[in-house]
Amino acid sequence: MSKNDDKKSAEAETEETGTEVAAASAGGAVAGFDYGEDSGAGFEGTKGSDLSVPFLGILQSNSPQVEDKDPEGAESGMLYNTVTRELFNGDKGVLWLPCHKEQAYVEWVPRAKGGGFVGLHDPAGEVVSKAIQENDGEVFGKLSIGDNELAETFYVYGLLLDEDLKETMGFAVISFTSTKIKPYRDWMTAMYTLKGRPPMFANRARIRTIKQKNEHGTYYNFRIDPAIDTWAKSLINPAENGSLLEEARDFRKMVTSGMARAAFETQNATGDGNSGGGGDDEKDPPFYIPPIRHERWCVAGSSFCSKLLLDPVATLQEAYNEMEPRAGSCSEGCCPLVGGPGSTGISIVWLCRDRQDHPGPTLR
């Protein structure tokens, strides 16, 4: 089946369930009331495209909401819903069920010229490729389109959950850019490496904020933990709560089919994150090895012959030190560390030769 066929199928399925899912999610906070025959009255014909998926952002000390005390009680470190204007205590955080992730390069008007969201660009598209070429082939540092700036951004769409982790309280999208990319990658790694390959929307998390510091000062970042002790314990059991999985699956279909649209015009409402408005401004390290899933470890005697590198590395030498194979041979035919310059940087291959379905990590 082609990608177009997949999308048509998703759209067809969403047309049947999208309105109900959207209504249930948006009104989840008052789901305890029974309105009888009036339930849903006035919303006939509502489609997912009629609704805005709000952003869940972090309030910083320079956020308009904090400076103006609007909404009342707004303080730095809080989580903020850009559409409903709800505030969430950053120490307690929110319970979250991730459903879908996307990557894009976001075009911003520089703050010095008023700031503001312009649009999204495909990471593999011509606009981004040209911007990288004009930056001497480097993906790190400031990328630009004319007078505007480009920022690599990861989006995670999801459902807010109640404290019992069984009911949805709404939906939102979280953007990760600049210094927020590291907690995003750590989170994705924790979910992706779980045994059994559960879908993203089976993973329940608690999202808090944490104060951090860099050369520009202090700011708040995301802290993402399992909802219950460990990531394995936080998984939804299909036999016990299949309806929650179904709701998450339907919301994902709404997003992937284009029926649910993020409210991008509110993305920088908190002034948190990027060129359009402030927040943290720390560059990514010059090297990063994306985490990979290695389902069958190569064992040499009683020790692993290699290890998974999860965190960004600051220098090439540090990468070599971290990835150095341990002593001994490997009965699985594990590739030794292979490094060498190439047209796009340095490649480090670390993988069993019979595991062709898992490409080795690349050092960019």
Tell me which of 131-145, 170-184, 248-262, 294-308 is least confident.
294-308
String of DSSP letters for 234-297:
TB--HHHHHHHHHHHHHHHHHHHTTSSEE-GGGTTTT--SSTTT-S--PPPPSB-------SS-
Most confident of 187-201, 261-275, 308-322, 350-364: 187-201
String of DSSP letters for 167-213:
SEEEEEEEEEEGGGHHHHHHHHHHHHTSTT---GGGB-EEEEEEEEE
Tokens of 164: 């019992």
First to last CA, the chain: 33
CA distance 286 to 284: 6
Tell me which of 59-73, 218-232, 251-265 is least confident.
251-265
pLDDT given for residue 165 in this prediction: 96
CA distance 269 to 150: 18
Tell me which of 136-140, 145-149, 213-217 is least confident.
136-140
**Residue 203 contacts residue 97 (beta carbons within 8 Å):** yes
**Residue 243 contacts residue 226 (beta carbons within 8 Å):** no
The mean pLDDT of 15-20, rounded to a whole number, is 39
The mean pLDDT of 14-42, rounded to a whole number, is 56
pLDDT given for residue 75 in this prediction: 97
Query: How far is residue 70 CA from its own chain's centroid?
Result: 27
**What does pLDDT average to over the chain?**
73
pLDDT given for residue 250 in this prediction: 94
9 has a pLDDT exceeding 70: no
pLDDT given for residue 52 in this prediction: 80
323 has a pLDDT exceeding 80: no
pLDDT given for residue 65 in this prediction: 95
Domain boundaries, the chain: 3-266, 299-363
Tell me which of 33-37, 84-88, 296-300 is least confident.
296-300
pLDDT given for residue 279 in this prediction: 41
Most confident of 17-21, 208-212, 288-292: 208-212
pLDDT given for residue 317 in this prediction: 40
pLDDT given for residue 273 in this prediction: 56
Phi, psi of 85 (to 5 degrees): 65, 20
Most confident of 163-177, 285-299, 328-342: 163-177
- pLDDT 10s digits, 181-238: 999 999 999 999 999 999 999 999 999 999 999 888 899 999 999 999 999 999 999 9
Q: Which of 217, 209, 223 is nearest to 78 (CA)?
A: 209
pLDDT given for residue 156 in this prediction: 97
pLDDT given for residue 32 in this prediction: 57
Q: Measure Cα distances from 202 to 31, 157, 163, 197, 262 in Å.
A: 22, 13, 16, 10, 22
Query: Does 268 or 48 have the greater pLDDT score?
Result: 268
pLDDT given for residue 34 in this prediction: 84
